């Protein structure tokens, strides 16, 4: 993959940023909020410099890593230790919460027979609920960005699982903002709820198998 050009936020770029009502642009072009907002971001294959530029654009103070496995084969600078050092040099805090809020829980009880994560059961677990509580308490004090690997929130558990759990716990849906790789953003309330696997009869679970050992079927035909 060819190197990506640096993200350059000039006057014209900032003027084109779609700013939701709960966000404002400062005179220097950075985005600010007057009330607690939880940001999310997917690193994809973006360069380290571009990633930091996006965080600074939205004045993110801390990155919460919600990857179950904090490593990237195609973007090694997003490995847990390397990323923590990168963020420290950019004056951004780093916290790992993939064990509590990750999309691939370690316990096989949270998977169906096809290897899909049972979001309803995982989000109801004490481990996940404790993590969600830690997250909302921290978000009330600091500007946080949840980080996973998928650039598009529609395909990531940031939207499919965590955002929905936050809303169910009382966090305003309009106060969840997904930062995109081009510097723009997608508010959570702009994503149709039906974009997730929520159809009647299917239940709340990951849209595809995530390659964990599936839970054995309890059917007598198994």
> Does an H or E element contain 15, and which?
helix 11-15
pLDDT in tens, 88-113: 999 999 999 999 999 999 999 999 99
**Cα separation, 129 vs 25, whole angstroms:** 34
- Does position 137 have pLDDT exceeding 80, yes or no? yes
Instruction: Name the CA radius of gyration of the chain, rounded.
Output: 18
pTM of the complete model: 0.83
Tokens of 53: 């530029």
End-to-end CA, the chain:
45
pLDDT in tens, 203-214: 899 998 986 465
pLDDT at residue number 8: 47
Tokens of 4: 């990506």
> Does an H or E element contain 133, and which?
helix 126-139
Please report the domains of the chain, with CATH numbers, ordered by start residue: 32-109+126-193 (3.90.190)
């Amino acid at each position: 993959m060819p190197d990506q050009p640096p993200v350059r936020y000039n006057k014209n770029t900032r003027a084109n940023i779609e700013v939701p009502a709960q966000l404002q642009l400062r005179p220097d072009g950075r985005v600010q909020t007057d009330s607690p907002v939880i940001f999310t971001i997917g690193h994809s294959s973006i360069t380290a410099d571009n990633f930091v530029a996006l965080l600074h654009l939205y004045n993110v103070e801390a990155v919460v890593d919600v990857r179950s496995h904090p490593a990237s084969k195609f973007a090694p600078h997003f490995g847990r230790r390397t990323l923590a050092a990168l963020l420290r040099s950019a004056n951004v805090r780093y916290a790992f919460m993939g064990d509590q809020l990750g999309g691939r829980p370690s316990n096989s009880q949270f998977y169906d027979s096809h290897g899909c994560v049972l979001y309803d059961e995982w989000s109801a677990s004490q481990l996940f609920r404790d993590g969600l509580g830690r997250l909302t308490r921290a978000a009330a004090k600091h500007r946080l960005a949840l980080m996973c690997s998928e650039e598009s929130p529609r395909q990531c558990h940031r939207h499919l699982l965590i955002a929905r759990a936050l809303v169910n716990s009382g966090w305003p849906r309009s106060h969840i903002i997904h930062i995109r790789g081009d510097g723009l953003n997608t508010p959570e309330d702009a994503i149709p709820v039906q974009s997730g696997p929520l159809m009647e009869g299917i239940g709340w679970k990951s849209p595809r198998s995530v390659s964990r050992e599936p839970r054995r079927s309890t059917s007598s035909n198994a």
